[in-house]
Chain A
Amino acid sequence: MKSAKITLGVLILLTLISALFAQQTLSYSAIIILALAGLKFLGISYYFIELIKAHVFWRFIVAAFVFIILAIILVIRY
Protein backbone atom coordinates (compact mmCIF):
# COMPACT_ATOMS: atom_id res chain seq x y z
CA MET A 1 0.00 0.00 0.00
CA LYS A 2 3.03 2.25 0.33
CA SER A 3 3.33 2.20 -3.46
CA ALA A 4 -0.27 3.49 -3.78
CA LYS A 5 0.59 6.42 -1.50
CA ILE A 6 3.70 7.24 -3.55
CA THR A 7 1.66 6.89 -6.75
CA LEU A 8 -0.94 9.34 -5.38
CA GLY A 9 1.81 11.91 -4.70
CA VAL A 10 3.35 11.42 -8.15
CA LEU A 11 -0.07 11.69 -9.86
CA ILE A 12 -0.86 14.96 -8.06
CA LEU A 13 2.58 16.30 -9.00
CA LEU A 14 2.13 15.31 -12.67
CA THR A 15 -1.31 16.98 -12.74
CA LEU A 16 0.18 20.21 -11.41
CA ILE A 17 3.07 20.06 -13.91
CA SER A 18 0.54 19.52 -16.75
CA ALA A 19 -1.42 22.57 -15.58
CA LEU A 20 1.80 24.62 -15.58
CA PHE A 21 2.75 23.53 -19.11
CA ALA A 22 -0.78 24.34 -20.30
CA GLN A 23 -0.13 28.00 -19.38
CA GLN A 24 2.99 28.10 -21.61
CA THR A 25 2.87 28.91 -25.32
CA LEU A 26 5.70 26.52 -26.19
CA SER A 27 5.28 24.64 -29.46
CA TYR A 28 6.00 21.30 -27.77
CA SER A 29 3.69 21.83 -24.74
CA ALA A 30 1.12 19.37 -26.12
CA ILE A 31 3.76 16.63 -26.40
CA ILE A 32 4.78 17.08 -22.75
CA ILE A 33 1.16 17.30 -21.54
CA LEU A 34 0.18 14.11 -23.37
CA ALA A 35 3.33 12.29 -22.22
CA LEU A 36 2.48 13.21 -18.61
CA ALA A 37 -1.09 11.98 -19.20
CA GLY A 38 0.37 8.67 -20.42
CA LEU A 39 2.44 8.37 -17.24
CA LYS A 40 -0.62 9.10 -15.09
CA PHE A 41 -2.57 6.45 -17.01
CA LEU A 42 0.15 3.87 -16.32
CA GLY A 43 0.44 4.93 -12.66
CA ILE A 44 -3.27 4.36 -12.07
CA SER A 45 -3.42 1.07 -13.93
CA TYR A 46 -0.21 -0.42 -12.51
CA TYR A 47 -0.39 0.73 -8.88
CA PHE A 48 -4.05 1.55 -8.09
CA ILE A 49 -5.55 -1.39 -10.02
CA GLU A 50 -2.41 -3.39 -9.19
CA LEU A 51 -1.81 -4.55 -12.75
CA ILE A 52 1.86 -4.57 -11.75
CA LYS A 53 1.09 -7.91 -10.04
CA ALA A 54 -0.79 -9.27 -13.07
CA HIS A 55 0.48 -11.30 -16.01
CA VAL A 56 2.87 -9.38 -18.30
CA PHE A 57 0.28 -9.55 -21.11
CA TRP A 58 -2.03 -7.13 -19.23
CA ARG A 59 0.78 -4.73 -18.40
CA PHE A 60 1.89 -4.73 -22.02
CA ILE A 61 -1.56 -4.30 -23.55
CA VAL A 62 -2.42 -1.34 -21.28
CA ALA A 63 0.90 0.37 -22.08
CA ALA A 64 0.47 -0.34 -25.80
CA PHE A 65 -3.08 1.07 -25.78
CA VAL A 66 -2.14 4.37 -24.18
CA PHE A 67 0.97 4.75 -26.33
CA ILE A 68 -0.95 4.13 -29.58
CA ILE A 69 -3.86 6.48 -28.72
CA LEU A 70 -1.59 9.33 -27.60
CA ALA A 71 0.74 8.82 -30.58
CA ILE A 72 -2.19 8.99 -33.04
CA ILE A 73 -3.48 12.19 -31.39
CA LEU A 74 0.00 13.76 -31.54
CA VAL A 75 0.55 12.77 -35.18
CA ILE A 76 -2.80 14.30 -36.14
CA ARG A 77 -2.12 17.40 -34.03
CA TYR A 78 1.30 18.18 -35.62
Chain B
Amino acid sequence: MESAKIDYKNIFYPPGGILIWIVIFLELITFGMALVAMAYSSKEEPEVFHSSRLLLNSTIGAINTLFLIGSGYCMAKAVHYFKVNNLKKASLFLKLTLLGGLLFIGLKGVEYYDKIEAGYTIGYNTFFLFYWMITLFHVIHVLVGMVILVLVFFGICKKGTEANIENIEASAAFWHMCDLIWVLLFPVIYLIF
Protein backbone atom coordinates (compact mmCIF):
# COMPACT_ATOMS: atom_id res chain seq x y z
CA MET B 1 0.00 0.00 0.00
CA GLU B 2 1.26 3.44 -0.91
CA SER B 3 1.86 5.73 2.03
CA ALA B 4 3.48 8.72 0.33
CA LYS B 5 3.06 12.04 2.14
CA ILE B 6 0.96 14.60 0.29
CA ASP B 7 1.81 18.27 0.58
CA TYR B 8 -1.67 19.63 1.33
CA LYS B 9 -0.36 23.19 1.54
CA ASN B 10 0.35 23.04 -2.19
CA ILE B 11 -2.46 24.90 -4.02
CA PHE B 12 -2.72 22.06 -6.58
CA TYR B 13 -3.30 19.34 -3.96
CA PRO B 14 -6.48 19.94 -1.95
CA PRO B 15 -7.66 16.76 -0.12
CA GLY B 16 -8.61 14.26 -2.84
CA GLY B 17 -6.81 16.13 -5.61
CA ILE B 18 -7.72 19.06 -7.81
CA LEU B 19 -9.90 17.10 -10.28
CA ILE B 20 -12.44 15.99 -7.66
CA TRP B 21 -12.63 19.61 -6.45
CA ILE B 22 -13.47 20.79 -9.96
CA VAL B 23 -16.33 18.24 -9.93
CA ILE B 24 -17.39 19.32 -6.43
CA PHE B 25 -17.53 22.99 -7.37
CA LEU B 26 -19.47 22.26 -10.57
CA GLU B 27 -22.01 20.29 -8.53
CA LEU B 28 -22.22 22.92 -5.80
CA ILE B 29 -22.77 25.68 -8.38
CA THR B 30 -25.47 23.59 -10.13
CA PHE B 31 -27.37 22.98 -6.90
CA GLY B 32 -26.75 26.55 -5.76
CA MET B 33 -28.28 27.93 -8.96
CA ALA B 34 -31.28 25.61 -8.56
CA LEU B 35 -31.84 26.90 -5.02
CA VAL B 36 -31.52 30.51 -6.20
CA ALA B 37 -34.09 29.77 -8.94
CA MET B 38 -36.38 28.24 -6.31
CA ALA B 39 -36.07 31.32 -4.08
CA TYR B 40 -36.79 33.55 -7.09
CA SER B 41 -39.93 31.54 -7.98
CA SER B 42 -41.13 31.79 -4.39
CA LYS B 43 -41.39 35.57 -4.83
CA GLU B 44 -43.94 35.02 -7.61
CA GLU B 45 -46.07 32.55 -5.62
CA PRO B 46 -45.30 33.10 -1.91
CA GLU B 47 -48.56 31.55 -0.66
CA VAL B 48 -48.10 28.41 -2.77
CA PHE B 49 -44.53 27.98 -1.51
CA HIS B 50 -45.48 28.55 2.12
CA SER B 51 -48.44 26.16 2.10
CA SER B 52 -46.46 23.54 0.14
CA ARG B 53 -43.47 23.80 2.46
CA LEU B 54 -45.80 23.04 5.38
CA LEU B 55 -46.76 19.79 3.60
CA LEU B 56 -43.17 18.55 3.96
CA ASN B 57 -42.11 16.66 7.07
CA SER B 58 -39.22 18.74 8.45
CA THR B 59 -38.59 16.13 11.19
CA ILE B 60 -37.73 13.58 8.48
CA GLY B 61 -35.50 16.21 6.86
CA ALA B 62 -33.72 16.89 10.17
CA ILE B 63 -33.23 13.16 10.88
CA ASN B 64 -31.83 12.74 7.36
CA THR B 65 -29.42 15.62 8.09
CA LEU B 66 -28.22 13.75 11.19
CA PHE B 67 -27.77 10.53 9.15
CA LEU B 68 -25.62 12.33 6.57
CA ILE B 69 -23.61 14.26 9.17
CA GLY B 70 -23.00 11.01 11.09
CA SER B 71 -21.92 9.19 7.95
CA GLY B 72 -19.66 12.14 7.06
CA TYR B 73 -17.97 11.78 10.45
CA CYS B 74 -17.49 8.04 9.88
CA MET B 75 -16.00 8.79 6.46
CA ALA B 76 -13.51 11.21 8.05
CA LYS B 77 -12.57 8.50 10.59
CA ALA B 78 -12.19 5.92 7.80
CA VAL B 79 -9.75 8.19 5.94
CA HIS B 80 -7.85 8.81 9.19
CA TYR B 81 -7.47 5.09 9.91
CA PHE B 82 -6.45 4.41 6.32
CA LYS B 83 -3.70 7.03 6.68
CA VAL B 84 -2.32 5.30 9.78
CA ASN B 85 -2.51 1.89 8.02
CA ASN B 86 -5.25 0.53 10.29
CA LEU B 87 -7.26 -1.10 7.50
CA LYS B 88 -9.50 -3.04 9.89
CA LYS B 89 -10.84 0.12 11.50
CA ALA B 90 -10.90 1.92 8.14
CA SER B 91 -13.18 -0.76 6.68
CA LEU B 92 -15.36 -0.73 9.82
CA PHE B 93 -15.91 3.04 9.50
CA LEU B 94 -16.53 2.66 5.77
CA LYS B 95 -19.31 0.19 6.60
CA LEU B 96 -20.78 2.69 9.08
CA THR B 97 -20.57 5.40 6.41
CA LEU B 98 -22.49 3.18 4.02
CA LEU B 99 -25.05 2.43 6.75
CA GLY B 100 -25.64 6.20 7.13
CA GLY B 101 -26.19 6.46 3.37
CA LEU B 102 -28.59 3.51 3.41
CA LEU B 103 -30.60 5.01 6.27
CA PHE B 104 -30.76 8.31 4.38
CA ILE B 105 -32.02 6.60 1.21
CA GLY B 106 -34.50 4.50 3.21
CA LEU B 107 -36.01 7.50 4.99
CA LYS B 108 -36.09 9.48 1.74
CA GLY B 109 -37.96 6.55 0.17
CA VAL B 110 -40.56 6.70 2.97
CA GLU B 111 -40.91 10.46 2.44
CA TYR B 112 -41.29 10.07 -1.34
CA TYR B 113 -43.86 7.29 -0.88
CA ASP B 114 -45.94 9.52 1.43
CA LYS B 115 -45.81 12.41 -1.04
CA ILE B 116 -46.79 10.25 -4.02
CA GLU B 117 -49.62 8.62 -2.01
CA ALA B 118 -50.94 12.10 -1.09
CA GLY B 119 -50.75 13.21 -4.74
CA TYR B 120 -47.94 15.73 -4.30
CA THR B 121 -46.11 14.67 -7.42
CA ILE B 122 -43.78 16.68 -9.65
CA GLY B 123 -46.66 18.36 -11.51
CA TYR B 124 -48.62 19.36 -8.38
CA ASN B 125 -47.27 22.93 -8.27
CA THR B 126 -44.06 24.95 -8.74
CA PHE B 127 -42.79 24.20 -5.23
CA PHE B 128 -43.09 20.44 -5.72
CA LEU B 129 -41.50 20.71 -9.18
CA PHE B 130 -38.39 22.14 -7.49
CA TYR B 131 -38.70 19.74 -4.52
CA TRP B 132 -38.71 16.63 -6.71
CA MET B 133 -36.06 17.78 -9.17
CA ILE B 134 -33.55 19.01 -6.59
CA THR B 135 -33.97 16.25 -4.00
CA LEU B 136 -34.04 13.44 -6.59
CA PHE B 137 -30.90 14.81 -8.20
CA HIS B 138 -29.30 14.79 -4.75
CA VAL B 139 -30.45 11.21 -4.09
CA ILE B 140 -28.77 10.16 -7.37
CA HIS B 141 -25.52 11.68 -6.05
CA VAL B 142 -25.88 9.76 -2.77
CA LEU B 143 -26.43 6.51 -4.70
CA VAL B 144 -23.36 7.16 -6.88
CA GLY B 145 -21.37 7.99 -3.72
CA MET B 146 -22.45 4.68 -2.16
CA VAL B 147 -21.36 2.74 -5.24
CA ILE B 148 -17.95 4.48 -5.07
CA LEU B 149 -17.64 3.65 -1.34
CA VAL B 150 -18.56 -0.01 -1.95
CA LEU B 151 -15.77 -0.19 -4.55
CA VAL B 152 -13.36 1.48 -2.10
CA PHE B 153 -14.43 -0.97 0.61
CA PHE B 154 -13.71 -4.02 -1.55
CA GLY B 155 -10.50 -2.35 -2.72
CA ILE B 156 -9.07 -1.97 0.78
CA CYS B 157 -10.32 -5.38 1.92
CA LYS B 158 -8.38 -7.10 -0.87
CA LYS B 159 -5.12 -8.67 0.26
CA GLY B 160 -2.07 -6.71 -0.89
CA THR B 161 -4.30 -3.75 -1.73
CA GLU B 162 -2.93 -1.12 -4.06
CA ALA B 163 -5.40 1.51 -2.90
CA ASN B 164 -3.65 4.82 -2.35
CA ILE B 165 -4.57 7.67 -0.07
CA GLU B 166 -5.34 10.08 -2.89
CA ASN B 167 -8.04 7.76 -4.30
CA ILE B 168 -9.53 7.20 -0.84
CA GLU B 169 -9.55 10.95 -0.18
CA ALA B 170 -11.16 11.66 -3.57
CA SER B 171 -13.93 9.14 -2.81
CA ALA B 172 -14.35 10.67 0.65
CA ALA B 173 -14.53 14.18 -0.85
CA PHE B 174 -17.33 13.01 -3.19
CA TRP B 175 -19.23 11.57 -0.22
CA HIS B 176 -18.76 14.77 1.80
CA MET B 177 -20.04 16.71 -1.22
CA CYS B 178 -23.39 14.93 -0.72
CA ASP B 179 -23.39 16.24 2.89
CA LEU B 180 -22.50 19.75 1.72
CA ILE B 181 -25.32 19.81 -0.84
CA TRP B 182 -27.85 18.46 1.68
CA VAL B 183 -26.79 21.04 4.30
CA LEU B 184 -27.86 23.73 1.80
CA LEU B 185 -30.97 21.93 0.47
CA PHE B 186 -32.51 21.09 3.83
CA PRO B 187 -32.98 24.63 5.20
CA VAL B 188 -33.98 26.16 1.87
CA ILE B 189 -36.54 23.51 0.85
CA TYR B 190 -37.86 22.41 4.26
CA LEU B 191 -37.57 25.45 6.51
CA ILE B 192 -37.47 28.98 5.12
CA PHE B 193 -40.52 29.41 2.85
Query: Which residues of B have CB within 8 Å of A66?
Result: 184
Interface SS of chain B: helix, strand, loop or mixed?
helix
Give Cα distance in the complex from A11 to B178, angstroms.
Answer: 15
Query: Which residues of A have CB within 8 Å of B77?
Result: 1, 4
What 1/0 flags go to B1-40 for Cβ under 8 Å of A? 0000000111101111000010001001100100110011
Interface centre among A8, A12, A57 (most CB of B within 10 A): A8
- Count, chain B residues at interface, CB 8 A: 45
- 8 other contacts beyond A4-B80, A41-B183, with CB at 8 A cut-off? A7-B73, A40-B183, A48-B76, A50-B8, A54-B14, A58-B11, A65-B25, A65-B28
A-B contact count (CB 8 A): 120
Pick the residue among B21, B36, B72 that contacts A44 (CB under 8 A): B72
Cβ-closest chain B residue relative to A47: B76
Do the beta carbons of B184 and A37 come within 8 Å of each other? yes
Do the beta carbons of B11 and A33 come within 8 Å of each other? no
A residues 15-66 touching B (CB-CB < 8 Å): 15-16, 18-19, 21-22, 29-30, 33-34, 36-37, 40-41, 44-45, 47-51, 53-55, 57-58, 61, 65-66
Give Cα distance in the complex from A4 to B70, angstroms.
Answer: 11
Cβ-closest chain B residue relative to A44: B179
What 1/0 flags go to A60-76 for Cβ under 8 Å of B? 01000110011011001
- 8 closest Cβ contacts across the A-B interface? A30-B192, A22-B191, A69-B32, A55-B11, A76-B39, A8-B73, A37-B187, A48-B76
Cβ-closest chain B residue relative to A76: B39
**CB proximity of B153 to chain A, nearest CB, Å:** 19
11 contacts between A and B (CB under 8 A): A7-B73, A8-B69, A33-B191, A36-B187, A37-B187, A44-B176, A48-B72, A48-B76, A55-B10, A58-B11, A76-B43
